[in-house]
Amino acid sequence: MADACAPAPVVLLSGANRGIGAAIVNELLPHGYRLSLGARDPATLAAAFGPETARVLHAHFDAFEPASAEGWVTATIEKFGRIDVLINNAGSNEKVSLLEDDDAALDRLWAVNVKAPLRLTRLCVPHLERTGRGRIINIASMSGKRVRNPFVGYNMTKFAVMGLTHTTRHVTWDQGIRATAICPSFVRTDMTRESTKIGREDMIAPETLARIVRNTIELPNNAATAEVLVNCRLEDML
């Protein structure tokens, strides 16, 4: 991402303890990145990756606790002095169908999938701006591009993530920040374990998605990628 004389880039990654998040950690660490990892229980980060080091910070981050976002960003700056990349990966696929009246579940989806990424974006933009080539990666979904299931809550929030990403692109472009929505279909993680629409062996490997994330981070400012659609089955839109 940076030349050899520049300090190692610092990545702030939510939902880092498992699934896509854990794959991103394992992809970035060997390439010299410094990582600020957020999870509801930091002990899960230690269990997944070992103890903190000079290159890795474990932090408490709970989408339902706005103060945890502020504390996490502050701790990151205190340890590393900068933030180069924000990856909004934490998400929920709690099921709320169109004709189901479950406002509490819908509120939880909005809190995790939309409000938390927006909050972290607001907190990180001043630090990303200072780098001259800050990056924001929002892990969205193909369900934010088209609808193929009845779960209106998930679909609505993922469409909202696309709106967040494109608004961020417009607002921060002149500050050298590039925002990208990465939209996978089925990824072989715990979130898709109950899915029967496609065999698990045919789903996207989280390690593949992690490589796409790193490639997107490392593109130069004059090769900005607004959306990356990643599918494991044929669809006309691709």
Residue 216 is inside which H or E element, if any?
A: helix 206-218
pLDDT at position 199? 87
Model confidence at 238, pLDDT cuts 50, 70, 90, reads low
Q: Which candidate, 137, 144, 141, places its Cα nearest to that of 16? A: 137
Distance between CA atoms of 202 and 231, rounded to whole angstroms? 10
Q: 86 φ, ψ to 5°?
A: -115, 125
**Residues 93-122 as b or e (16 or more Cβ within 10 Å = b):** bbbbeeeeeeeeebebbbbbbbbbbbbbbe
Q: What is the DSSP string of 135-154?
A: EEEEE--GGGT---SS-HHH
Residue where the block lists tokens 């009246």: 101
Please pick, among 154, 164, 188, 203, the residue that the annotation labels catalytic: 154
Top pLDDT among 110 and 238 is at 110
Interval 70-98 mean pLDDT: 97
pLDDT at position 6? 74
Query: In the chain, what percentage of residues exceed pLDDT 90?
Result: 89
Instruction: Retrieve residue 212's tokens.
Output: 């796409």
Instruction: Identify whether 154 is a catalytic site residue.
Output: yes
Interval 165-191 mean pLDDT: 95
Residue pLDDT, tens place only, 52-79 = 999 999 999 999 999 999 999 999 999 9
Distance between CA atoms of 175 and 135, rounded to whole angstroms? 11
pLDDT at position 196? 78
pLDDT at position 3? 52
Tell me the Cα Rg of the chain. 17
pLDDT at position 2? 46
Interval 12-33 mean pLDDT: 97
